Amino acid sequence: MDPATQLLEAQRALLDERAEREREAALWRDASPAECLAAMFALCREADHYLAQLTPAQLERALAPDPLPPDTLALFAALPRT
């Protein structure tokens, strides 16, 4: 794929992502804090249900944090210790 086409594809993907975020945000735009909290509790119950279906090994993998990239680890290592 030539560079111009790659640039256009990247811009299209960015616009698609932005439109998706705007659609998702529209659901919450007019919601009251109580409605948002109730929806979050419902999502937490749903997540709890699905996590309960996993084996202990699957659950451990699902809850493990993503490893930090090497450049981030290098930045942390370079911070002065107090």
Q: What is the pLDDT of residue 17?
A: 81
Instruction: Report mean pLDDT in 10-residue bins for the chain, 82 residues.
Output: 85 81 85 93 95 96 92 92 80
Structure tokens at 31: 């919601």
Positions of E strands within 1-82 = none
Q: What is the pLDDT of residue 50?
A: 95
| CA distances from residue 73 to 41, 61, 77 in whole angstroms, order as listed | 34, 21, 6
